[in-house]
Amino acid sequence: MKTTFLIMNGVILAVGNSGGPLIMRLYFIRGGKRIWFSSWLETGGWPIILIPLLAAYISRRRRRRRSTTTAADGAAKLFLMKPRLFSAASAIGILTGLDDYLYAKGVAELPISTAALLAATHLVFTAAFAFLLVKQKFTAYSVNAVVLLTVGTVVLGLHTSGDRPEGESEKEYVVGFFMALSAAGLYGFILPVVELMYKKAKQALTYTLIMEIQLVICFFATLFCTVGMLINNDFQAISREAKEYELGEMKYYLVVIWSAIIWQLFFLGVVGVIFYSSSLLCAIIITVTIPITQILGVFIYNEKFQAEKGIALFLSLWGFISYFFGEITKTKNSNENNDQTRTTTETDRSSRQIIAS
């Protein structure tokens, strides 16, 4: 079941990480200009999580009532999260809000290929912080995966020199470049911190609790971006921007709504993959989907398909397979060692019994 849920969350993460940047780019290239609003949309869909949480609460309440004799004993808690975990998730949420803004600014100012290249560097940051914060153990296969995925993203950037968009100043380009790189570094820190929060939770972790953590993280990230929107007067500008949107007012709101939904899939996948595996695997899945996003951009936005994109995709898939082959090998060796230890223990026990008799 653990493997099944890990695969499910991996697929959700891949879909969210592929679709999120594409629809964000659609917002900008068709006339959207509000950076804070775009960053707000990355976590603004958090009320969606209330639906499965409400269903989980109703299910808990029914089970509790069937297993107890009084209504008082059968009362179920609406939320499972304790104050310690709530505080940690809140702090991570504020950091996520800052990261949302940095990422949105980078996507707005840079070509999608350059923004994707810089975003992919978060894998290196994640590997370093995972080693420092959660004592992540690396094997030859996981190191190989990190190297291949990093090289793949570097290949994507071979033709990004002189790619400053027409009409954009050099200062704006440099700011966007710095923002995107900062977003990668910050998110490379956030992922291991989430894993560390799980390890230090001091309460039983369930998938329902993981969804509560996502809710709190996204709520405080949205709150952070809401402050930015208020300062920047984004709320007053939304209706005007919708009327001036190239695809029309109705499609503007469709882009906004779907952006919020798809980014929630991304965050649900993130907290789920870290829960069932590790922050390193989460970073690897995110990095693998970046070349896929590039390929989708060729078909959706008629971007050029350069040989570098094909090579990057191949290296990314190779690195992904290398990581999982290493995990399968490690699990197999661990099982064999456990079986051998169990057999040795049983043999020693039998020998002692024979001697005693």
Closest among 117, 87, 119, 90 to 102, alpha carbons compared: 119
Residue 114 CA: distances (Å) to CA of 111, 158, 230:
5, 10, 30
Residue 38: CA count within 13 A, CB half-sphere: 26
Residue 191's φ and ψ, nearest 5 degrees, are -60, -50
- Read out DSSP for 111-138? -HHHHHHHHHTHHHHHHHHHHHHS----
278: left (phi over 0), alpha (psi -120 to 50) or beta: beta
Q: Which amino acid is at 85?
A: L
Query: What is the pLDDT at residue 267?
Result: 93
Cα–Cα distance for residue pair 150/157, rounded to 1 Å: 11
- Consecutive sets of 10 residues in the chain, 357 residues long: mean pLDDT of each? 88 90 87 93 94 89 70 62 93 96 86 72 85 85 78 65 62 82 92 94 90 95 96 93 93 94 94 91 84 72 65 73 76 66 59 59
Give the alpha-carbon dihedral of 2, 3, 9, 10, to 10 degrees: 150
Three-state SS at 76: coil
pLDDT, tens digit, for every residue of 127-146? 889 988 998 888 787 788 77
Query: What is the pLDDT at residue 71?
Result: 46
- CB count within 10 Å of CB 180 equals 26
Cα 222 to its chain centre, rounded Å, is 16
Q: Which amino acid is at 8?
A: M
Closest among 10, 41, 36 to 252, alpha carbons compared: 41
Give the alpha-carbon dihedral of 312, 98, 34, 107, to 10 degrees: -10
130: left (phi over 0), alpha (psi -120 to 50) or beta: alpha
Angle between helices 307-356 and 279-300 (to 10 degrees): 150
Residue 234 CA: distances (Å) to CA of 179, 180, 217, 342:
20, 22, 22, 64
Residue 76's φ and ψ, nearest 5 degrees, are -110, 145
Cα–Cα distance for residue pair 77/98, rounded to 1 Å: 32
Query: What is the pLDDT at residue 273?
Result: 93
Integer-rounded Cα Rg, in Å, for the chain is 23
Sequence-ordered alpha helix ranges (H) in the chain: 2-29, 35-41, 50-67, 83-109, 112-120, 122-133, 140-156, 170-199, 207-232, 234-244, 249-276, 279-300, 307-356
- Read out DSSP for 254-300? HHHHHHHHHHHHHHHHHHHHHHHS-HHHHHHHHHHHHHHHHHHHHHH
Cα–Cα distance for residue pair 158/306, rounded to 1 Å: 10
Residue 315: CA count within 13 A, CB half-sphere: 21
Query: What is the pLDDT at residue 40?
Result: 96
Domain boundaries, the chain: 2-142+163-286
